[in-house]
Amino acid sequence: MDFEDLIPAPRAGRRVPPARGTFTLDEATALHAAPGTERVARWLRGTLGAATGLPFAEGREGSGIVLRVDPELAPEAYRLAVDGHAIRIDGGSAAGVFWGAQTLRQLLGPDAFRRAPVDPARRTWDVPKAVIEDAPRFRWRGLMLDVARHFLPKDGVLRYLDLMAAHKLNVLHFHLTDDQGWRIEIRKYPRLTEVGSWRARTKFGHRASPLWEQKPHGGHYTQDDIREIVAYAAERHITVVPEIDVPGHSQAAIAAYPELGNTDVIDTTALSVWDDWGISPNVLAPTDSTLRFYEGVFEEVLELFPSRFVHVGGDECPKDQWRRSAAAQARVRELGLAGEEELQAWFIGHFDRWLTARGRRLIGWDEILEGGLAPGAAVSSWRGYAGGVTAARAGHDVVMCPEQQVYLDHRQDAGADEPVPIGYVRTLEDVFRFEPVPPELTPEEARHVLGTQANVWTEVMEDAARVDYQVFPRLAAFAEVAWSALPAPPERDFAGFERRMTAHYRRLDALGVAYRPPTGPRPWQRRPGVLGRPIDGPPPNR
């Protein structure tokens, strides 16, 4: 495989003479891991060893594959040098070495992405002689995975961590709770999973669809499952950021513990886990007992997730029940607030202080700007760029994930064959030309843009194959946006990217990814007659 076929594109690469020379891996090729690179060596032996059938025995520093930490490099930067004697991967940290190892895997060709050798008789693997020097543009390169609407079993999550690593993405934003399901075991509150993790039926298609799947849907991760996921991610230098949604998107929790809801407005004991899509009107009551309950939830969450950031949602919280609730209105008066918007800000601010006191940082969707932003909070800007611009100008850190640009549940084409078409058309080229940093930010303000993530909401994705179809191949383009030092969007070489994708589709095939082919959906990927919600015209850019 040519080094010019890499995705994401590296910052710099050059051939080592002779121009078509190679270094050959065979059964005698050893692997030397200098201090700090042992986990990368374990991944290489387990992954490339399985695909190639080569043992990669322990070797000395001067030959074979050599892994080293070079403190002169930036933390996630790497230098991959292949000559006639060795393959040397130097990284500014173990993470940098790992990203270099991912590049080596691409250089070995698509069969290096399989789990066992496809040709047992093959004994040699050639790597082109080259020097590749690379580093990421952003430190937050994320994928948000919604497992609340449609549950993705643990093995599917581990698989997506591998797919993220193959694309040099390093943050999994794990959307664990919503109106339609609670997916994480909380030992203090067992009914959250006993009751909250299952719904009786599921809407098939958009919320306006008349179709239902008349069988229970659900599942959850035990705490040991979560520990396994977090450890598996850490081996791949991926941080898992948990999301526990408050104070909206909480009907599953209220169904399990009715006292969490606005009991003076509705009979919360009659609520069940929601079986529809959209925004539920049933939100958490702004009481001290609700705060104490969720502090208990977050105490266990912090034990499981070492991530500095903890996502608290904060989006799409209807205020009607608070307006009608005597208890909520009394709380507004007690706190001297101007209204329900500030009541939500008070709710979020409580957990900002609570998390800060424990050495963590709160991050939430851009609605947490309404009513005043908590001092230490960071913002996931999803309703366009405006929330991120406001937050950055106020000195808050931002992750850019505008719905109109990088929501991968949006349709990929305007054609009638697209399955359950949602939102704007966002083609592979559209994602490739996405720019995370708004041009109106000054250089100082732009430093608050931690990075970017693509979001995958699974209302209309009933299984892993549908998730694959919506995510790929667009995640490859997004990964290049997040990693590579690209020119301004109009100047980006999409034709060159398409050429590199020709090689990358073969890698995705080897990984078993059910991506959308460039020619359109395969017959079994279509969903004829299932209602979606397409939006015509180009999406707004702000």
- Tell me the catalytic residues: 178, 249, 316
Separation of alpha carbons 79 and 13, rounded Å: 10
Separation of alpha carbons 240 and 22, rounded Å: 38
Per the CB < 8 A criterion, the answer to whether 352 and 363 are in contact is no
Write the single-letter amino acid at 325. Answer: S
Helix count and strand count (H, E) for the chain: 17, 24
Separation of alpha carbons 280 and 151, rounded Å: 19
Separation of alpha carbons 192 and 94, rounded Å: 38
The DSSP H or E segment spanning 494 is helix 494-511
Residue 130 has what DSSP assignment? E
* Spatial CA neighbour of 219 closest among 311, 127, 153: 153
**Alpha-carbon dihedral sign for residues 225, 261, 352, 401:** positive
| Residue the block writes with tokens 């581990």 | 158
Q: How many CA atoms within 13 Å lie on the side-chain side of 356? A: 12
Per-residue exposure over 316-336, b if at least 16 CB sit within 10 Å of its own CB, e if not: bbebebbeebeebeebbeeee
Write the single-letter amino acid at 180. Answer: Q
* Spatial CA neighbour of 220 closest among 258, 264, 254, 176: 176
* Spatial CA neighbour of 434 closest among 389, 494, 387: 494
Separation of alpha carbons 25 and 21, rounded Å: 13
In which region does residue 463 sit, left (phi positive, over 0), alpha (psi from -120 to 50) or beta (all else)?
beta
Instruction: Give me the sheet containing 12-15, strands edge to edge.
Output: 12-15, 130-134, 78-82, 86-91, 64-69, 31-33
* Spatial CA neighbour of 390 closest among 344, 353, 440: 440
Separation of alpha carbons 371 and 337, rounded Å: 9
Separation of alpha carbons 214 and 136, rounded Å: 46
| Token digits of residue 162 | 């591998």
Per the CB < 8 A criterion, the answer to whether 102 and 166 are in contact is yes
- CA 496, 475, 208 angle in degrees (round to 5)? 125
Distances (CA, A) of 88 to 51, 85, 111, 389, 460: 20, 9, 22, 42, 45
Distance from the Cα of residue 346 to its chain's centroid: 28
